[in-house]
Amino acid sequence: MRIKLYLITFSVSFLTASIGGNFTVLDDWYYSLIQPSWKPDDLVFPIAWTIIFTLCAISGGMLLSNASTRSLKLKVTACFLLNAFLNVWWSYLYFFIKRPDLALLEVVFLWGSIIVLISFSRTINKVASILLIPYLAWVTLASFLNYETAQLNGYL
């Protein structure tokens, strides 16, 4: 049963990454943006996201394996699915419809959903909770980058 849970969490995690990645188009608009000097190289992003989605999948598998009731498993699933939606929605707003200002507003909810995931996870499995901290750190960095880019390009 544990293997099945991990197959599901990895599938959902990388489906989320794939959908978000399809919205992430580095086109002429993106390259025309004035970027902050401290922005990581574009090659860093897919590496960081692959690590983050892997850690999320492992965390989700651990949480579902350790959740003691069906109700708790449903809550874990709901938290991860809401977070996945918000993650994809940010990519859609920023890259697909080219609205860094709306993405900046949305990232507040994405960031909050990660805080909820970490806090809720801690009650089930502390290690699973810790595995989500790099995700929070990366989204925090991305939030500052989103803000700076929106400001530098007159979206704010």
What residue type is 94 in one-letter code?
Y
Single pTM value for the model: 0.94
97 within some domain: yes
Pull the structure tokens for residue 66: 């350790």
Is the pLDDT confidence value at 92 over 80? yes
Is 62 inside a domain boundary?
A: yes
Q: Does residue 70 fall inside a structural domain? A: yes
27 domain-assigned: no
pLDDT per residue over 36-85, tens digit each?
999 999 999 999 999 999 999 999 999 999 999 999 999 999 999 999 99
For residues 121-134, average pLDDT: 97
We report the CATH number of the domain holding residue 101 as 1.20.1260
- CB of 96 within 8 A of CB of 21? no
Q: What is the pLDDT of residues 15-29, one digit of tens each?
A: 999 999 999 999 999
Angle of CA points 75, 14, 42, to nearest 5°: 120
Q: Is the dihedral of CA 56, 67, 7, 21 positive or negative?
A: negative
Please say whether the beta carbons of 135 and 59 come within 8 A.
no
Check whether 1 has a pLDDT greater than 80. no
- Give Cα separations from 143 to 3, 101, 108, 113 (angstroms): 34, 11, 8, 14
Q: Which domain holds residue 93?
A: 2-22+39-152
Residue 29 located in a structural domain: no
Judged against a pLDDT cut of 90, whether residue 115 lies above it is answered with yes
Would you tell me how many other CB atoms lie within 10 Å of the CB of residue 29?
A: 10
- What type of residue sits at position 27? D
pLDDT band at 2 (very low <50, low <70, confident <90, very high): confident
Report the domain count for the chain. Answer: 1
The whole-number pLDDT of residue 130 equals 98
